[in-house]
A and B are shown apart, each in its own frame.
Chain A
Amino acid sequence: MRNRYLHRKEKAIEWLLSGSSLVSVLTTLGIIIVLAIDSFKFFTEVSIIDFFTDKEWTPLFENKHFGILPLLSGTLLITFIACMVAIPLGITIAVYLSEYASKKFTAIVKPILEVLASIPTVIYGFFALQYVTPLLQKLIPGLAGFNALSPGIVMGIMIMPYITSLSEDALRAVPNSLREASYGMGANRFQTAFKVMVPAASSGIIVSVILAISRALGETMIVAIAAGQEPKLTFNPLESVETITTYIIQVSMGDVPQDSLEYRTIFAAGLVLFLFTFILNNISYWVIRKYRQQYE
């Protein structure tokens, strides 16, 4: 009798727990459905060919154009600048911390650098606008108050610790025997680091870089504050640009009527952004599964 009661209780709890797990699945599904439905309504009014080829994005003006390219170029430009800062710095520091620095130095410096990743992004936006932009204006005369360069650099500083931290973990996970074998063959620290350790940890390093890129693509507040709100098809880092994320914020703060075509533009733009990050995430998942080196 008691056993049956216990058994039922156990089953009920297991169902409850698995039900909680369903929330994650529903969230993913919800995101896809919400983006898909309103994007579909959007594309019944705007041709998908125009969307990808028109060089102007002016849905909030009298003369409406719905070309995503200016927003896309702004997003990619800033992501590119951020990566140019974060990837070389991040990987160099990771190699230094795992192969060169003393254990004590690493134990102190790594958490301090990780603080950079925990700072809310609105703070980086303020820093870019109020400190980095004026500093750059002294170096580059004629730099606009809103530009792609300053938020790009600041974003690079923000995502650098992701690369450092994950790459350092990956380097640390390579067994010591590989390192010792390399030293034993007469290789020095530099050769060991770049010819043995980095290739051995490459899958982890690649994943860290992909995650950082995906973070940069979706970053919102830094660019909303410091990059401006002018959608322009340009790859000039000195000009003001608008990213997909900034556009979503711009529309959310204005008073665009619900269920209008203007309102639906944020779903279409959001879908493009989501697809980018979704593909990157899946590549990293695939790299982890396929190329993870198993050491005994």
Chain B
Amino acid sequence: MNKRNRKNTAKIKDQLFKYFAILCTGFGLLALGVLLVDIISRGMGRINWSFFSNLPSRHFSESGIYTALIGTASLLFFTILVALPIGISSGIYLQEYGARNRFARFVEINIANLAGVPSVIYGILGLQFFVRIAGLGSSILAGALTLALLIMPIVIVATREALKAVPNSLRDASLGMGATKWQTTSRVVLPAAWGGILTGIILSISRAIGETAPLIVVGALVYVPFVPEGPLDQYTTLPIQIFNWTSRPQQGFMNNAAAGIIVLLAFTFLLNGIAIFLRNRWYNKIKL
């Protein structure tokens, strides 16, 4: 009797948890759905050609994201230019060369810590080092260097993961044929790992595209009615433009913000989609 009761309560708990968990999962999915539907329904009406080609303006119906798009594109260009070579080399060193030495272990702890530093703190670092000491001012270059430091841990970790997945037999075969360490790394291991590295690169770009806080700290402007012409010019970016519109009281600017968000989300999802596609393709190849 008692035993059967206990078994029953256990079963009830099991069922209760199941339904509670389904509810929780549903809530997560619902939140995503509501967010997307709300933003699309607000902003879709504002998306037309002039929204992409207009400069920002005092009147919400004439405002566009042209300067923000150019700003984001140039910022990303310089960020990638700096972050990729350094990040990938660093990943190669940690995975292929510094397997067991003390320096590599120390760097590793550093990277783990950097990945957890709030992005606004990177902004403070950039403000003091690039904007003031290096004298770059609130330029695209200062913003790009700050973002490069921010995404570097992602690139390094992705490079290491990709290199780790390359089977050791490839390395041994190359070394056994008399190739040097670097010949092995550059001609055998890197080509095999490239798909994985590329995935990490794209994910880091997707992270950089949406960053707002550190750029505000290093002085990206919120209102830029001109197109930047060189790396030392001032600029604005798409997320900052969205932030600016969100902090205005008029509802018209809110719709502009929603339209800007649709564009930003489209970029983010596109990049993540490409990354997932590449990862699956590469993963299947390396598993064979």
Contacts and interface: CB of A to CB of B under 8 A. Distances in A.
B90 A273 contact: no
Given A217-B118, A221-B212, A20 B29 contact: no
A17 B35 contact: no
Contacts of B122: 31
A161 B110 CA distance: 25
B93 A18 contact: yes
B233 interface: no
Interface residues on B, range: 35 or more
Interface string A17-41: 1101111110110110011001000
Given A38-B128, A96-B25, A126-B242, A24 B212 contact: no
The 9 closest A-B pairs by CB, nearest first: A218-B118, A120-B210, A96-B21, A17-B93, A20-B89, A220-B213, A190-B14, A281-B116, A20-B90
Interface string A176-214: 000000000000111101000000000000000001001
Nearest to A248: B120
Contacts of B20: 92
A120 B264 contact: yes
B17 A190 contact: yes
Contacts of B174: none
Contacts of B206: 118
B287 to A, nearest CB: 17
A248 B120 CA distance: 8
Interface of B: 10-11, 13-14, 17-18, 20-22, 24-25, 27-29, 31-32, 34-35, 38-39, 42, 85-87, 89-90, 92-94, 97-98, 103-104, 106-107, 109-114, 116-125, 127-129, 132, 149, 152-153, 156, 180-182, 206, 209-213, 216-217, 219, 222, 239, 242-243, 246-247, 254, 257-258, 261, 264-265, 268-269, 272, 276
Given A92-B24, A188-B10, A270 B272 contact: no
Interface string A150-166: 00000001001100100
Given A220-B213, A245-B118, A190 B97 contact: no
Contacts of A24: 90, 107, 110-111, 114, 152-153, 156
Nearest to B245: A126
Given A18-B93, A21-B104, A160-B28, A118 B272 contact: yes
A123 B32 CA distance: 12
Q: Max chain A CB contacts within 10 Å: which of B28, B39, B272?
A: B28
28 contacts: A18-B98, A21-B107, A24-B156, A25-B107, A27-B152, A28-B114, A31-B122, A31-B124, A89-B27, A97-B25, A100-B21, A115-B32, A115-B269, A116-B28, A120-B210, A120-B211, A121-B212, A122-B239, A122-B246, A123-B261, A130-B246, A220-B118, A221-B212, A249-B213, A278-B117, A285-B109, A285-B112, A285-B113
Contacts, number: 248
B109 A126 contact: no
B153 A95 contact: no
**Majority secondary structure, A binding face:** helix
A229 B240 CA distance: 18
A200 B85 CA distance: 40
Contacts of A100: 18, 21
A43 interface: no
Contacts of B119: 218, 220
Contacts of A220: 118-120, 212-213
Contact of B38 (A17, A93, A127): A127
A130 B257 CA distance: 11
